[in-house]
Amino acid sequence: MMKDALSLLEATQANKAAWEASAPLHGTGAGWEALLKAASEPGFSTFDTCLAETLGALDLSGKRAVQIGCNNGRELLSLAQYGAVPAVGIDQSGAFLAQARMLSEAAKLTPEWIEANVYELPPNMCAFDFVLITIGVLNWMPDLARFFEIVAGVMAPGARLVIYETHPVMEMFDPVAEQPHEPAFSYFQQVPHRQDEMFSYYGQDHGTGTTSYWFPHTLGEIVTSCIRAGLRIERLTEHGHSNREPEYDLYEGRAAQIPMSYTLVARREG
């Protein structure tokens, strides 16, 4: 269900525009050139140790993989190192998918890159053996229950889903607040955060951009939506490390450690 008066279409269109505006910040400069070079070399992977261990424990050999919210495709391409076939990347930002095509050319891999609102996927989508969802994707989704129904719908019987995401508890804190260790937002907030800042992976301030909407979801909502979509959860592991922008690193390594990220592994029965 939608969490406020915003329509699903209004929210997703606004977020698409924000990501299109953000894309040029990531497709130039030394960081981009280093990524292009890395993609052309053997063993290319952008996964941290935590996600690498999760993927390494699964049998992905020959599995056709799709990433929903693939951005510039670097993570979908990284799955090749685990024996998976990077088959399809889905994102609503054509500008980021243009970068994905450059990276896949450098990696000599040939995924299909689909520009689409996930709520309006092409009706002829085939079923995949493996689905990957990583940081931030769920919080761009205004209707979580419908999102998981769509995810389940592109999974073949026996297919696995791996989600590696920011923990919802982290959404309570603002690392740039005057008192960053005190909760700034309710864990149960229903209204989306309206954002007008340009955003990047690297945490730099790029000034004002187009309006976007960030939807908080509790862990209970995420798990319940996954189960109701017909998926069986095999593992849910909470982590005390960050997998998001560098400014959140200040919450790591404390005696009273909060959960900062989590890994969810689920399977479609069949």
**pLDDT one digit per residue (tens) for the chain, 270 residues:** 445 557 888 999 999 999 898 888 877 789 999 999 999 999 999 999 999 999 999 999 999 999 999 999 999 999 999 999 999 999 999 999 999 999 999 999 999 999 999 999 988 888 999 999 999 899 999 999 999 999 999 999 999 999 999 999 999 999 999 999 999 999 999 999 999 876 655 545 445 668 999 999 999 999 999 999 999 999 999 999 999 989 999 999 999 999 999 999 999 997
**The pLDDT value given to residue 1:** 46
Give the type of residue at 195.
Answer: Q
**Strand pairing report for 193-197 and 208-214:** antiparallel
Q: Spell out the domain ranges in the chain.
A: 8-268
Q: Cα(71)–Cα(53) distance, rounded to whole angstroms?
A: 22
| C-alpha torsion sign, points 242, 246, 196, 9 | negative
The CATH code of domain 8-268 reads: 3.40.50.150
Quick check: pTM over 0.85? yes
DSSP output for 109-162: ---EEEE--GGG--TTPPPEEEEEE-TTTGGG-S-HHHHHHHHHHTEEEEEEEE
